[in-house]
Amino acid sequence: MTSITIQTPDDWHLHFRDGEMLKETVPATARCFQRAIVMPNLVPPVTNAQMVNEYRQRILSARPEGSTFEPLMVLYLTNDTTKQDIIDAKAAGTVAAKLYPAGATTNSDAAVSALDGLFPIFEEMQNQGMLLLIHGEVTDNHIDIFDREKEFIDRNMKRIVSAFPELKVVFEHITTKDAVDFVLAASDNVAATITPQHLLLNRNDLLVGGVRPHNYCLPVLKRNTHQQALREVVATGNKKFFLGTDSAPHEKSKKENACGCAGCYSAWSAIELYTHVFDELGALDKLEGFASHHGADFYGLPRNQGTITLVKKDWTIPESITLPTGDDIVPFFAGQNCTWKLVTA
């Protein structure tokens, strides 16, 4: 196969950031995705309906001229979130709320430190039909960073889905066979997103031959057996798994320092890299479901009407991108070959 046309896809998990960065991140995503689930971990985080509306407007203002790209907004949960916050956010068009364990990732210090205290909030979300998106890692210092996803499943995820069987839950950016097995065994109200970096890389790509800061993300890359489990499940076309890039931009200087930021900026090559992976797996016929159907169906939203076309063509992902601020950012898979290229949108 030398070309493939699919219904216009959506990105069900990404970080736009804010301010001048939006002039880079919004057009990069809008070039091929019709909708995107927008993470709320700004500084300060997006914790109420007014902040949701204001952030949505800033994103819309950064769209390219003529673009119909639609940001899908998410509320940031804290231990101070109230039921009224959920009701107000839902009325403002917010589609989901995000559970970050405190300290789990970038700008998550204000997040949840006492999970059981949020159970009344989860009940209200279930009543309102608002999805719960979960960064599924514990943050205890004594738990090995490579085991934190499994520990979260055993300690928290099983309790949440058992206590709220009608609550739709997305286990975001899963990285382990344990997570794959959990989602497969759970009800149809549980799904998961998978990133390009966790399909393409494993922890060797982070640590062998020196630390590679631009491959550092959270949840961290795992051993190759977990990477293989992710690749195998997407190749089956299972409807519970769908595209979520977790594209997360950081300036080069903030990645290449003594305490480098976590996150891979994949927006400018994401759909091409996913296609590259599905081609490697001999599963190009499953790409459209993963990229364009399963997420929309799970969220209860209509599938997009347009199409995009990619052609099989070798090209090199740029070594760097200059931001509107003048800073440089190193995109995910920088300087490496990708075998598929977007030609129409």
Contact 97, 75 (CB under 8 A): yes
**Binding-site sequence positions for substrate:** 15-17, 41, 135, 218, 250, 262
* Amino acid in position 319: E
Assign 69 to helix, strand or coil. Answer: coil
Annotated binding site: 13, 15-17, 41, 98, 135, 173, 218, 246, 250, 262
Residues 6+ apart with CB under 8 A from 238: 184
Write out the binding residues for Zn(2+).
13, 15, 98, 135, 173, 246
Q: Which residues touch 77 (CB under 8 Å, ≥6 apart)? A: 97, 98, 99, 100, 111, 112, 118, 121
How many CB atoms are located within 10 Å of the residue 187 CB? 12
Residue 297 a catalytic site member:
no
Residues contacting residue 307 through CB under 8 Å, at least 6 positions apart? 5, 6, 7, 8, 344
Q: How many angstroms separate the most distant Cα atoms in the chain?
A: 53
Q: Where are the beta strands (DSSP E) in 22-130?
A: 35-38, 70-76, 96-99
Q: Which of 10, 11, 85, 246 is catalytic?
A: 246
Torsion sign (Cα): 336, 338, 341, 345: negative
291 φ/ψ angles, rounded to the nearest 5 degrees? -90, -30
SS3 203: coil
| Residues taking part in catalysis | 246
